[in-house]
Structure 1
Amino acid sequence: MAGSSRASVVTPTSQNQDGIPAELPSAIEIDAEDKTVTLPLFQGRGPDDEDVHYVLTETSGLDHALRLGLNWAPKLRNALETPAVQEVSMGMSEQFEPRNSQIRFAGTVDFSSDRNVAPGPDGFPLDAENTQPGSVGDDAYSPFVTTPSRNVVFNAPHVENSTGEHDGLVEIDKESMTVTLELVEGFYEERGELYLSTDAYPADVAALEGATHAPTLSGAPAAGDRDLESSAREPIFPIVNGPMGEDNPERQGLRSAVAGEGGPLNVTRSDQVCHDPQGPTDCSLFYSPLWDVHPIVWTEAAIEEGRRRRLTDREEIIELVLAGDLASAADGPVNSLLGNVRAANAAVNCPIISVEEEGSQSRPSDPYIA
């Protein structure tokens, strides 16, 4: 997939539609060179009967995922009956159908603010008092929605309404009902991946991500928990103090991102692939777009002895934590399944759009090809 100049655009229509492939099936176009994705755009109604435009990326129901071309995220069901899921009314319909113009959201987003990211003394952590996200959800808004039956969850982030547009929005076409959004680069098992960053909490994390601040996401179970029966989250590892330098091939980290050198190049714990829907053990049952933030720092000893480098795999991160080269940068709940790394009081809605094929092991900014 990556590492060739034959093409920079993936057209997921060429993928095997029997399962959940390594590219979001409903994506119209994925441009890995420009780091954008074009998705179908849907229209609903806000709480005051205003137009709301949104996209769909995940669902907890496998049948719905296959029918609509979405990522399957079964753990999202564990967020039902929490503030992290808002109920939508469907008019006369009982099934969630995105082309149903009668869909009404209980909450919505104010996109009118100017985003501002204020570096702290070391770049990151940020100066939270002077940092502001570009959009904020109201008390009822969550990107995760369910119908009155409350048996399935959909990831439906709002991207535009009368107050403005999401900070990640590149182009919106209301005639063709498509929207192009910016993508973020990261790693999964030494492979490059591209994902959206649509919603987050708290406010400073949302501002850094260019995401909507959605405080209701804090109600999703639970920081530091990735159990299939209880958690709606899955870990992500941002490296706080990775190597710096815009042209440094080892560059990575939150401080590098705040300095304007590029994205943070986070490492995720799971992917979204489901090769065989008839055998769910061949699927990423742990996958969730709601990433539980587990920030990591290189220790002074590792830096002084020249062991700091770019990290691309969560197993490598856990090994380095156990070896003492890395340490938790948060004081939240201990995740006993991840080398006792601590979770932060933060989560980000980051649907995976594309993951490189196994064996490619290329670095970000290499072109993806079909």
Structure 2
Amino acid sequence: MAVGDRDFDVHNHINTSDRVLGVHIAPPSPPGKFLESWVDMLFIKGFDAGEPIIYLSTDAGQPLTAVLERATYVPALDRAAYNGGDDFLGSARERLFGFINGQTGRRNRQSQGFQHLMLDGHGSEDASADNKALIQSLRRGGDLLNVFGDFPTLRDPRHANAYSPLWDAQLGLWTDKAVKGGLNKRQIDENVVFNLAATRPDLLTGVDPATGEPAPYGSVGVDINCAVIGFTADPPTANLEDPVPNSQFPPR
């Protein structure tokens, strides 16, 4: 979270994580006691199985992803087993769902995605406790609002036990038809996203992150280490829909 033992930069983050808002170093502990040090962290809002959750991004395998997630760039993450693995044996990755061009607007309850983060969530600014506009924007939903797959509180043991903090991003691109019709709405459940991609490719496709052009929906080799912290209302327990035939929900 930080390097050194003093003079921590929590404004431009020269020697701290981009999500560190404060560093509190305890004085020397008296005999028989242990005084704790701690940091103030900027958590991230998202969704799993229809419920709001919070998580913390620490590392990402690509430079742009690291910037957007305010995480540390760690190229080795790209070599973690394995792209598209999800629940399959030998894979360290789970699936996360992001959207390039969801709706925008700070008070729009349908806003979500990368454009929303940059336009409404002060994504181009350093995060600090003194940046009140950024803090208030994120408090009111200015985050990416990604959708997560497996979660420790899900009732199905297969998916509860398959949780991993290393996420394999599936990036969605809403089509012009969806955008013009106002159908690029906020998504909050893995199965709903899979079903939409499988049944309505006229509304939602994948995207090639190298070109920004439409591509088949699925894993794109974007890896993020972001551990879930908890849920903010009710625990995620079950997906909102059953998977339709030919969706990418495992087993495939």
CA distance in 2, matches of 1:283, 1:307: 29
Distance apart, 1:184 and its partner CA: 0.3
Query: Which residue number in structure 2 is paired with residue 330 of structure 1?
Result: 208
Which of 82, 106, 117 pairs up with 1:222?
A: 82
Query: Which residue number in structure 2 is paired with residue 209 of structure 1?
Result: 69
Letter matched to residue 20 of structure 2: L
8 Å CA contact 1:191, 1:312 repeated in 2: yes
After superposition, residues 168-187 of structure 1 pair within 5 angstroms as 168-175=19-26, 176-187=36-47
CA distance in 2, matches of 1:353, 1:269: 14
Does 1:242 pair with 2:111? no
Query: Which residue number in structure 1 is paired with residue 176 of structure 2?
Result: 300
After superposition, residues 337-348 of structure 1 pair within 5 angstroms as 341-348=217-224
Partner SS for 1:351? strand
Query: Which residue number in structure 2 is paired with residue 159 of structure 1?
Result: none
Q: State the Cα deviation string for residues 142-201 of structure 1 (Å, max 9, x = none).
A: xxxxxxxxxxxxxxxxxxxxx611110122222122222110000001100000011112
CA distance in 2, matches of 1:210, 1:344: 20
Considering only aligned residues, what root-mean-square deviation do their CA atoms show, in Å? Answer: 3.1
| TM-score of the aligned structures, taking structure 1 as reference length | 0.48
8 Å CA contact 1:224, 1:292 repeated in 2: yes
Which of 145, 148, 152 pairs up with 1:265?
A: 145
Aligned pair count? 198
Gaps of 5+ in 1: 1-40, 44-49, 53-110, 116-133, 135-162, 333-339, 361-370
Query: Which residue number in structure 2 is paired with residue 164 of structure 1?
Result: 15
8 Å CA contact 1:330, 1:342 repeated in 2: no
Q: State the Cα deviation string for residues 320-342 of structure 1 (Å, max 9, x = none).
A: 1112221101379xxxxxxx732
CA distance in 2, matches of 1:351, 1:326: 27
Distance apart, 1:319 and its partner CA: 1.3
Query: Which residue number in structure 2 is paired with residue 287 of structure 1?
Result: 163
Gaps of 5+ in 2: 27-35, 122-141, 211-215, 238-252
What percent of counterpart residues are identical? 27
Query: Which residue number in structure 2 is paired with residue 357 of structure 1?
Result: 234
Letter matched to residue 171 of structure 1: G
8 Å CA contact 2:99, 2:114 repeated in 1: yes
| TM-score of the aligned structures, taking structure 2 as reference length | 0.69
Q: 1:359 to 1:215 in 2, by over 3 A?
A: closer
